[in-house]
Structure 1
C-alpha cells in the first residue's frame, strides 16, 4: 500500500512541473495581442497562433492515453515536458507567422502528452481515501501557477523583451523536465505479443473497441459528458465572453473612487481572482468527497453552483450581482474538474485507464474549443444575457442526469482494483 506522504510528494511534483510547463503558453496569451508587431505577425494571425495548440490536441489525446497505458504515464509526461520546453525556447528564436505556428502546434503535441499522462500518474498513485483532495490540489494549483506565471511573464517581457523572456521561461520548463525524472514508474499493460508475420487486423480491433464501449460503465459515460459540458460552459462560453460582458455592463472603464481602471485590466484581475478562489475551494471540497466516500454529492454541489453563476450573469443588473456570478463560477470551477477526475480514477483500474483519461481530455478540449464559437454566434443574434441564461438551463440538466446515473449505479461495486503495489522506484 502506498503511503499518503509518497502520493502527496508525487502530486506536488506534478503540480510544480505542470505549472512551469504552462509558463510560456500562458505568457503568450497575455502578451501576443499587444506585442505581435515585435514578432513579425499581424493582429489577425494572433488568433490562429493562440488556437493552433487546441486544434491539434483532440486526435492526439487518445494516442497519449494509449501510450500511457502501454508505457506507463511517467515516460509520456517527461517527453511532453521536454517538447514543451523546446517549443517555448522556439518562441524566443522564431520570427514570423509560420515558424511560430509550428511552435504552437508543437506545444499542442506537448500538452496532449503531459496533460493526459499527468492525470494518469496522479490517479495511479492515489487511493479513494485521498484522491479527491490530491486531485483538487493538482487541478486547481497547477492552472493557478500558470496564471500567476502569465503575470510574471508579462512583466518579464516588458522588462527584457519578447525573446529573452521566452528563453528564460523555456529554461524553467527544462528544469521541470529534470524534476519530473524523480517521479515514480507505475503499472502499465504489457504490449501484446504478436508472432512474426501475423498482423493485427483493423476490423477485429475496431470490433473489440465497439464491444468495450458498449460495456463501458454508465458513470464513465457521464464523466466524459460532464467534462465536455463543463469546459463548454465555463472554459468556453464564460471565459471567452467575460471581457465583452464587462465592457457591455461597465463601459470602457470602471471608476473606483478617484481611480479609473480600464475594462481589460479589470477583466484580467477578476479572472485571476477567480483562479485564487478555485485554489481555495478545490482541495477542501476534494477532501470532503474523500470523507463522504461519494464523489457525486460534491459534484452535484459544483453543478448547482454553476447554474447559479450563469443565472446571476444572465440576470445581472448591478456590479454586485455580476461579482456574485463570478464568485460562484470560480467555486464551480474549483469543484467540478477535480470531482470528475477523482470519480474517473475510482471507476478505472491502475495501469488500464489511459484511454479513458485520453477520452476525458478530448471531450474537455472539444468543449472549450466549440464554446467560444457558439457563444459569439448566439451573442450576436440574441445578446450575452440570453447566452448565459441558455447556459444556466443546460447546466441545470446535468443535475437530474447525475441523480439518474447515481440511482441506477447504487449498490454496484467500483471498478477500480489493485491499489497496492502500483508503483516502484
Structure 2
C-alpha cells in the first residue's frame, strides 16, 4: 500500500473518533451537557445537512489554494470540535461544533478520495478506494467499541479531549510527511531540469484546450449519483429504524431461550457490525470491482441489497431480520466502493475533484434523508411500505445503470465487466 495513502487514511480515521463517539454518548449524557432530548437528533444530523453546501465549497477552496493547507486545517478544526465536545455545554455551542465538523469533513473526505485516486491506476482504483475506506472507517469502529469503555473508565469529557488530541496529532503528521515528500520531489525536479537544460529542447506545444464534458458523460454522472444516493438512503433508513422495528415487534426486551436481552442492546450490537463489515469487506469489494469489472460487481450487489431490504419488509423472525440487515450492510459496502470507482472512471481527471464533491453530496443527502423518512413517514404509513419504496428506488437505479453503462455502445474507461 502506498505510504501517502496509508498516512492520509490513518489521519482520516483519527478525525472520525470524535464524530462517531458522540453518536454513542450524547443520547446518554445529553442532560449533563445541557442538551434537551428533542435536540439530540438534530445535533447528530446537523453535520450531514451542512455538507450539502460545504462539499462544493471544499472543491472551490482546494482548486484555489491547493490541497495541503485546506486538508491540514480541516484536520485541526476537526480535532478542535472534538475537544469542544469535552469542554462545552449547551445546545448552541454543540450545534456550532457539529456544523464546523461537517465543514471539516467535506475537506477531509475530498482529500482522502483524491489521494486514493492519485496513487491508483485504472485497474487498481477499486482496490485502493476499498483500502482507503477500510482504514479510514477504523476510526469509527474504534470510537464505537472503545468509546463506551473509556466513557465508563475516565468519563466522556476526558475521552473527547483524548480523541481531539489524537486528531490534531494526525494533522501534524500529515503536514510533516507531505512537506518532506514535496521537498524531496522539488530536489529531484531541480536535478532533472538541470540535466534537461543540456539537451536539445523540442518545439513548444500549444496549450491543451479546456476539458469539456459531453452529454453522455453528464448522464452517466447523473445515473451514478442516483445510485449512490439510493444506496446511502436505504442503508441510513434501515439503520435509523432498526430499533423502532424491534420495539414494535418484540417490545422492550427480546427473549432467546433462557436469555432476556434489551432491544436497545440488540439494536446497538447489530448496528455496530457495520463499521467492522466496512473494515473487513471494503478491500475485498474493491478487488472484486477491479477483477470482475464495475458492472459485474454492481449488478451482483444491487440484487442482494434488494432481496435483503425486501426480506425486512416481510417482517421476518428475529434471526432472519438480523441476517437481512447484515447482508444489506455487506451489499452497501460493495456498492459504496464500486460506485466511487465508477464515478472516478467516467469523469476526465481535470474535472474529477469538482464531480467528486457533487457525488459525495448525493451520499450525504441520502444519509440525511433516510432517518427523516423513517420517522416522518413510517408512523403514518408503516415501515413495510417504506421499505418497499426503497426496493423500488434500487430497481430504478439498477435499470438506469443497465441501460446507461451495460447496454450503451460507448465503453467504460476500464474493463467494466459483462
Instruction: Tell me if structure 2 keeps the 8 A contact 1:309–1:326.
Output: yes
Q: Decide which structure has the larger Cα Rg and report it.
A: 2
Q: Does 1:242 align with 2:260?
A: no
> Aligned residues, how many?
386
TM-score by length of 2: 0.86
Instruction: Tell me if structure 2 keeps the 8 A contact 1:309–1:325.
Output: yes
Deviation at 1:390, TM superposition (A): 1.9
The CA distance in 2 between the partners of 1:129 and 1:216, in whole Å, is 20
The CA distance in 2 between the partners of 1:78 and 1:60, in whole Å, is 16
Deviation at 1:15, TM superposition (A): 2.4
The CA distance in 2 between the partners of 1:255 and 1:168, in whole Å, is 38
Q: What corresponds to 2:185 in structure 1?
A: none
Q: What corresponds to 1:134 in structure 2?
A: 128
Q: What is the CA deviation profile of residues 228-251 of structure 1, one whole-angstrom value per residue up to 9, with x for unaligned ones?
A: 11111112x111111111222232
Q: What corresponds to 1:98 in structure 2?
A: 92
Q: What corresponds to 2:200 in structure 1?
A: none
Instruction: Tell me if structure 2 keeps the 8 A contact 1:136–1:334.
Output: no
The CA distance in 1 between the partners of 2:294 and 2:61, in whole Å, is 28
Deviation at 1:143, TM superposition (A): 2.4
Q: How does 1:179-328 map to 2 (within 5 A)?
A: 179-181=173-175, 182-183=177-178, 214=215, 216-235=217-236, 237-292=237-292, 294-328=293-327
Could you tell which deviates more after superposition, 211-220 or 46-55?
Answer: 211-220
Q: What is the CA deviation profile of residues 212-241 of structure 1, one whole-angstrom value per residue up to 9, with x for unaligned ones?
A: 585644322222111211111112x11111
Deviation at 1:138, TM superposition (A): 1.8
Could you tell which deviates more after superposition, 80-89 or 137-146?
Answer: 137-146
Q: What is the CA deviation profile of residues 257-304 of structure 1, one whole-angstrom value per residue up to 9, with x for unaligned ones?
A: 433221111111111123323333221121122123x21210111211
Q: Aligned pair in 2 of structure 1 residues 110, 149: CA closer, same or farther (>3 Å)?
A: same
The CA distance in 2 between the partners of 1:94 and 1:232, in whole Å, is 32
Which blocks of at least 5 consecutive residues in structure 2 are unaligned? 183-209
Q: What corresponds to 2:41 in structure 1?
A: 47
Which blocks of at least 5 consecutive residues in structure 1 are unaligned? 186-207, 416-425
Deviation at 1:126, TM superposition (A): 1.0
Q: What corresponds to 1:199 in structure 2?
A: none
The CA distance in 2 between the partners of 1:74 and 1:130, in whole Å, is 24
The CA distance in 2 between the partners of 1:403 and 1:330, in whole Å, is 23
Deviation at 1:42, TM superposition (A): 1.5
SS in 1 for 2:413: coil
Instruction: Tell me if structure 2 keeps the 8 A contact 1:58–1:362.
Output: yes
SS in 1 for 2:255: strand
Q: What corresponds to 2:358 in structure 1?
A: 359
The CA distance in 2 between the partners of 1:274 and 1:100, in whole Å, is 26
SS in 2 for 1:261: strand
Q: Aligned pair in 2 of structure 1 residues 310, 167: CA closer, same or farther (>3 Å)?
A: same
The CA distance in 2 between the partners of 1:252 and 1:213, in whole Å, is 55
Q: What corresponds to 1:13 in structure 2?
A: 7
Q: What corresponds to 1:193 in structure 2?
A: none
Q: Which aligned runs of 4 or more in structure 1 are off by greater than 4 angstroms?
A: 211-215
Q: Does 1:65 align with 2:66?
A: no
Q: What corresponds to 2:71 in structure 1?
A: 77
Provide the aligned C-alpha RMSD in A.
Answer: 2.4
Q: What corresponds to 2:203 in structure 1?
A: none
Q: Aligned pair in 2 of structure 1 residues 388, 232: CA closer, same or farther (>3 Å)?
A: same
Q: What corresponds to 2:201 in structure 1?
A: none
The CA distance in 2 between the partners of 1:384 and 1:297, in whole Å, is 31
Q: What corresponds to 2:202 in structure 1?
A: none
Q: What corresponds to 2:106 in structure 1?
A: 112
Q: What is the CA deviation profile of residues 298-353 of structure 1, one whole-angstrom value per residue up to 9, with x for unaligned ones?
A: 01112111101101101133122212211221111220111111112222344541
The CA distance in 1 between the partners of 2:350 and 2:313, in whole Å, is 44
Deviation at 1:70, TM superposition (A): 4.1
